[in-house]
Structure 1
Amino acid sequence: MPLTNSQDIADLLQSVRTIAMVGASDRPDRPSNGVMKFLQNQGYRVIPVNPTITGEHVHGEYVWRELDQIGEPIDMVDIFRRSSEVGPIVDQAIAIGAKAVWMQLGVVDEEAAARAEAAGLKVVMDHCPKIEIMRLGLAKIEPAAD
């Protein structure tokens, strides 16, 4: 079962250091852009993955085409894609040895979640790490006002 308990989510967020963000955007008006910056400000290393802007940089980080190109350990894969596109991303997360997959608000794929859990990954669905960090009182630095 995906994590829903506040303590389990807090434990996950406190154990993670490196996050690959699939669907990261270089456009400041996109939610993934703001969440990436917020997570960086909280001390996480966030590595953007987006085939459309591969080779560019978002918030100082090189943008990769696929998860398996990153070449360093990933604690959590944060998925900013449609639910219909989650399956192959979860399969890649399993293949690279990620410890968790996090599907953003509105992103749900029960079958992919079951595959991830069967492979030993922790799963969060239909939540935003920025919102959870704020809700759980884990923020090290408050977000700047927009």
Structure 2
Amino acid sequence: MELTRHQIREIAFQTLFALNTNDQTDWKDFFQVLTSGKYGDEYPEYLHQLISGVLEHKSEIDKTIEKYLASSWSLERIARTDLIILEIAIYEMVYVDDMPAKVSINEAIELAKKFSDDRSRKFVNGILSHALEELVK
């Protein structure tokens, strides 16, 4: 498997976004579509870890995100793209031991640049910077 962790995060983001609207489909099917079947039945372990981890810990991750929102905001108000980016980053910060939190934050900002806009990038950076202070002690 020749995918970098950055590429894996992009595929994880796209897959989680697709699963958000069609949760009856196996994530591996989305992987096949996103990679044009280039990797056959081989799936990067880190991709599986990210997707299954975010889905398994979604409620805890979302509660963590809620703590850093302004009092007038709720998860429902966050753009779906931004929420998924935040979920991936918080998952990495809390559950992936060999991932420095600052790398997760930087990667989340890169995802926001690619899949969203500058306001989203700033929003994601703000939430994760606040989370960094508490989650990484």
TM over 0.5: no
Higher helix share: 2
Tell me the TM-score normalised to structure 2 length.
0.33
Tell me the TM-score normalised to structure 1 length.
0.32
Higher strand share: 1
